[in-house]
Chain A
């Protein structure tokens, strides 16, 4: 199982409200820290929810080429973009039907660079790029953007307040 948003929302909210007088219009660093830990979690990703080990590796390789690590922020691999797509293609999930496409093409792209994939399989490449961008730049709750890699890249001060309803509710996004 991948790490999940855990159940300290209520505590966090209290912590936040305690600070809110001080930080009106801004963000408390402590707050950022609390939430960040929430999404980092720990432990291995396997077993994958939709991809095979092989497919996950191939996706991961291509994704890292599309969004590589650099001196400023992790790349797609460390941001766990593959986990995003794996989660979203699991049974009943919104991209379930794209699994077929990945199954077909990830078997064909072995050894190719991204540019070659783009040239040979433009439709597949468009889907791949769209999903990799989603996995890297969208909120960690969807499975990728591990530890807010992209938010840190662009200078967004991390998560703000999340949750004020029932603590412990399983995130199902």
Chain B
């Protein structure tokens, strides 16, 4: 066993953890950043689609599903099963391979309860902060990690104080088609914003438009994750040490209920006890909740910060809907990666149900992905199927998007009493089901997607409704957009942290990942997680004394 001391420990070098570590280290705080995975390498991950995060059929890369990074088990209709760890385990986590869609939530997303009133069977709440309070940190994330976009034409977007740091990408032909058609329909198409360089930014090149982007590490580093932006800045400051293959297994809480550090296991299975003045958990919504739950002590017998049984509850993700069809002409060019137009017309205030969602053109499909999406009149194999592939790869037309889910108190992560992982920690299990409202939302949005696809001239349209109903939080709670397991709030009985993402009952324990989201927006969540992490870390720096430094 090795004992050591530091000022701050950040657990997890993903989206939120990278941003938090950068702010702490650059303010002169001695920071230890612990990450269970390692640096991702394009040589290893390359263009291998069946082991990319787009389609991890063979292995999951980067952040492979090895015994050391295995994530969780899902409880689904009484069966236990392995959940594919959609978010990576590597420096940068999902930000290495994400589609990099970068949205600020809408203003109304911060006070849904006030807007919609009490929704039965839901745990819908207002956030303890407004959009305005987060606005400067959204901008910080957009500059420091790097976002290209243009909101002109989107009347639903929250007001910005500054323009985007980089101009939007030009539309690909598929997105141009959706743009023209939705405009004619009286809707409000606008440019998707991305954590990708449309022009050289912060010393890295502009995107060269590969075919595939989402699920793959960018070979030229034009995609902005924390691994190539804020984490290198943190390391350069001289105050941050990053340790990879370092699995944190417990928060050290003494009998008086004081948090004084973390325990982690290194790649040689040596245990380290790190004494630290503050601890920032940024292990992702699932793993942050698990770390709190497993860290039992005298005053917190159900896990750190869990005396009111809130940790792990209210989880959400995103259920996706889609409409897929074929045009009568080629639409895709040689330049990828597709997706450029979005609409937010259906995000809120729809007829007959609460909330809503976004629709956008999608990332370019891989040939293998399309091989499973044949037109119903085409045989599944043989010459005709091959001919179908040849003729239609460039004609495939697809619109998709996430719905904002209604959080439920009963949708939660619990410790699996039966199975333990390599580290001797119980796996996570998921409990709950989708809210009735989500189902209506999905059907509604999928039909809208179909309508747009039809008007775009797509034929043989097939819709996806977003998976089975009995799974909490979209893709089983363990999906790419996992969030909400430790929501922030004003009432310690109903939330895990206060408005500064400080865990109730601990002056020195903070969360800096998507686990604190009160709801997950009808759009991808990462920029909000980064903004919150920047804000929380600044709060720590500004209040060093109060938090124990």
Chain A interface residues (CB < 8 Å from chain B) = 5, 9, 13, 17, 20, 23-27, 65-68, 70, 72-73, 75, 88, 93-95, 114, 129, 132-134, 136-139, 141-142, 150-151, 153-157, 159-166, 169, 171-173
Question: Which residues of chain B are near A166, meaning CB under 8 Å?
Answer: 41, 43
Check if B381 sits within 8 Å of A163, measured CB to CB.
no
Verify B50–A138 contact, CB threshold 8 A.
yes
B208: contacting residue among A20, A134, A139, A141, CB under 8 A: A20
Contact A68 B205 (CB under 8 A): no
Within 8 Å CB of A66, what residues of B?
Answer: 381-382
Verify B50–A134 contact, CB threshold 8 A.
yes
- Contact yes or no, B367 A151, CB < 8 A: yes
Q: Which residues of A contact B389 (CB under 8 A)?
A: 137, 150, 153-154
Question: When the two chains form their complex, are residues A142 and B48 in contact, meaning their CB atoms are under 8 A apart?
Answer: yes
Given contacts A160-B47, A164-B42, contact A94 B59 (CB under 8 A): yes
B483–chain A nearest beta-carbon distance, Å: 30
Chain A residue nearest to B58 in the complex (CB): A94
CB contacts (< 8 Å) of A165 on chain B: these are 41-44
User: In the complex, are the beta carbons of B219 and A153 less than 8 A apart?
Assistant: no
Cross-chain contact A137 with B42 (CB below 8 angstroms): no
- Contact partner of A161 among B210, B371, B383, CB < 8 A? B210
Whether A150 touches B367, Cβ cut-off 8 Å, given contacts A26-B335, A164-B42, A169-B44, is yes
Contact size range, B = 35 or more
Residues of A within 8 A of B206 (CB): 24
Write out the residue numbers on chain A whose beta carbons fall within 8 Å of the beta carbon of B317.
none
Residue of A nearest to B206 (CB): A24
B46 near A141 (CB under 8 angstroms)? yes
Q: Which B residues are CB-close (under 8 A) to A75? A: 386
Contacts A137-B368, A155-B393 known; list 10 others, CB within 8 Å.
Answer: A26-B334, A68-B386, A73-B386, A129-B381, A136-B371, A139-B48, A151-B367, A161-B210, A163-B219, A173-B44
Tell whether B132 is near chain A: CB-to-CB under 8 Å: no
A95 to B386, CA, bound (A): 25
| Bound Cα distance A154, B391 (Å) | 7
A20 vs B219: C-alpha distance when bound (angstroms): 13
Nearest A-chain residue to B212, judged by Cβ: A160
Residues A162 and B46 in contact, CB atoms below 8 Å apart:
yes
The digit string for B361-376, where 1 denotes a CB below 8 A from any CB of A, is: 0000011101110000
Measured CA separation A157–B57 after assembly (Å): 24
Find out whether the CB atom of A173 lies under 8 angstroms from the CB atom of B393.
Answer: no
Which A residue's beta carbon lies closest to that of B45? A173
